[in-house]
Chain A
Amino acid sequence: MNKLIKLSDIAKASQSLVGNKAYRLSLLNQAGIKTSDFFVIPTSITNIDNAITQEINNYLAVNPDIHYAVRSSATCEDGSSASFAGQFTSYLSLTAEEVILAIKKVWESAQSETIKEYCSYHNIDLSVIKMAVIVQQMVSADKGGVVFTRDVFQDRNLIVIEAAKGLGEQVVSGVVDSDKYVLDKKQGKVLEGVLGFQKSILSKSEVRQIWELALRVEKLLGSPQDIEWAIQGKQLYILQTRPIT
């Protein structure tokens, strides 16, 4: 298939065509969980000819004023033992004109030295990796972060939320010191953290909202998840999710 795949059509496509990240996001979308809208350049497309360029531009022309994120969705990505977290390059806050170049750069990042080292360490055959690319509408996030639905750090039955002002990308790239909230998984009670502080990034109701949604995502996907989220106004979005490694 040499056509772009819209979010609403991913359910009809195979996982090997859209990559793991896009596939999981579509499952959430089907279950009514709010994800930012996106389309996928499938693994079957490996270079951008005029026809593909035209097709991409047609999609982007629908909402000319918004910004986009371009992310990898490789077939190897987000596995249960090797997450590839941060290994492929993502590009954020792009204008429509910048999207095509970013797609090419995401493909290039699959051949980088750093991926070779990572694959070699984890005994993964680089040649079998196929790369789909997600072009996602940017959420203009007031707050963003990550939620782990299992406390991998101390092996307790807890949920850990980390939050920063603005994009959650700042949390995963480690450029900001985030606020951390540790919750009892069953009841959602905050056990540790800065909740209630004047400068707490999240309010009580936002923590509860993230907790409830994180449990839904975990149940839906069948394993503990590492979820990137964003809040714009009162709306909570899931930007990506992967099994916790």
Chain B
Amino acid sequence: MYYIQPLSQYNFDLKAKKLEGLARLAKLGLPTVSNLFVVSPKAYKVFYKTHKLGDDLKYELGKIFQSIRSQGESVTLRNAIYERNNPAVAFSVSNSPNLKTYQEFEKRIVAGYRKAMRTSFDPANLEFSYLIQSFYSSEKCGTLLTTSNRTQILLHAILGQHTNLLFRGDIEPDSYVIQKSTYKILDKHIAEKQYRFKKQRSGLTKVRVNKDEQYQPVLTDEQVVRIAKLAIRAEKTYGPQQIDWAILDSGKIIFQETHNLEKPNNIRFAEQGEIIYPSEVSGEVVNVHAIPDKGLETLKDKIVITDNLDIQFINKLLFVCHPKAVILTKGSLTSHAATILREAKMTTILIRGVNLPDQDKVKITKRGEIVHE
């Protein structure tokens, strides 16, 4: 086809973030929305010049539409638009879900092109892509940050289908903190649920949640772990991600979108530890597993990271090496090592599995965070 391609094979210059994220998921074979196709900006250019879709495009649209409908599914039309010379200026016109007739589908495509041409941007400079996909409905959805800090995953879950409600603060979500290295759920908060938002013909409707569902978690622990494991596959290839996920009525987990999790340089990146003895110190980190035979003085005034909670090691570290602070990467707050460090008033926090390179400069705050300097 000339105008339309499957998203997973779409090799254009993907500047539209929405398409880029979905293309990543499709290329990695992660479960996402089915039947993803892109109508390239070439189609928009034809429409801009002729004010018509053209027979070739109509033929391709008809073929894709029929192929999705033949699977018993209806069609959703989404779009991604940006200015050619300024990709940072990106916007979209309204989406069209659950289309069941080709006439309605074509009408919506034309309406979208026309709407974009009426915006304040120069219509000749717009790069307008449509995304065609299967319509789906889900009762549960949410977002996930693969790096809420370097060692943990943060997941939010709500009833309903619209993750944007989370960002608007309309609904308090269930929230989970998951340890990245083991997928152990470290903490969870189950929100009291008053409403869910349901998509109906009239639009988004607020529906009261049944009493027996009010205090029930949105997800089972197994679902939380499954979503987290899938998300880490995306992170391994593309770096830290913010992922919108959903669970279809069939029980299948899909990722609706993914974005790079931005970490601007001017934002200091903090990792939350558990406090053993609080105070604020700054310094250079050094990873130590055993006391070296020589050069004990090299640990003086350093922030020592260790997974060794053996008391002989801890004594030597404290009473002979005199570090500035200690970060334990293993164990618990009530361990003997933690007790000995606290008694000695040594600034100490516990962050399981934390991984910082030697010579990294960090600050430990009174609240038990590691802030990278």
Contacts and interface: CB of A to CB of B under 8 A. Distances in A.
Interface of A: 81-83, 85-87, 114, 117-118, 120-122, 145-148, 152-154, 160, 162, 171-178, 180, 192-194, 197-199, 226, 245
Task: From A83, A172, A178, name the one whose CB has the most chain B CB atoms within 10 angstroms.
Answer: A172
Nearest to A192: B187
B315 A194 contact: no
B335 interface: yes
28 contacts: A81-B343, A83-B340, A83-B343, A85-B336, A114-B315, A118-B319, A118-B340, A120-B319, A121-B319, A146-B332, A147-B334, A148-B333, A152-B342, A153-B275, A153-B333, A154-B275, A154-B278, A171-B334, A171-B335, A173-B335, A174-B330, A174-B337, A175-B331, A177-B352, A192-B187, A198-B220, A199-B221, A245-B339
A86 B337 contact: yes
B331 A174 contact: yes
Contacts of B330: 174, 177
Nearest to B276: A153
B312 interface: yes
The 8 closest A-B pairs by CB, nearest first: A174-B331, A86-B336, A174-B309, A146-B334, A174-B335, A86-B311, A85-B339, A85-B336
A83 B184 CA distance: 32
A226 B221 contact: no
A146 B338 CA distance: 12
Nearest to B275: A153
Given A117-B315, A146-B334, A177-B184, 11 more contacts: A82-B343, A83-B340, A85-B339, A114-B311, A114-B315, A152-B342, A173-B309, A173-B331, A173-B336, A178-B332, A198-B220
Which DSSP category, helix, strand, loop or mixed, fits chain A's interface? loop
A213 B338 CA distance: 23
Contacts of A86: 311, 336-337, 339-340
Interface string B56-93: 00000000000000000000000000000000000000
Interface of B: 182, 184-188, 220-222, 274-276, 278, 309, 311-312, 315-316, 318-320, 328, 330-340, 342-344, 352
A172 B334 contact: yes
Given A120-B319, A121-B344, A177-B352, A114 B185 contact: no
Contacts of B182: 177
B37 to A, nearest CB: 40
Contacts of B187: 192-194
A121 B321 CA distance: 13
A160 B312 contact: no
Contacts of B320: 117
A54 to B, nearest CB: 34
Contacts of B222: 198
Task: From B278, B312, B331, name the one whose CB has the most chain A CB atoms within 10 angstroms.
Answer: B331
A177 B352 CA distance: 8
Contacts of B274: 153
Nearest to B353: A177
A111 to B, nearest CB: 14
Nearest to B343: A245
B342 A245 contact: yes
B299 to A, nearest CB: 15
Task: From B182, B278, B333, B342, name the one whose CB has the most chain A CB atoms within 10 angstroms.
Answer: B333
Contacts of B333: 148, 153, 160, 162, 180
A87 B311 contact: yes
Nearest to B336: A86
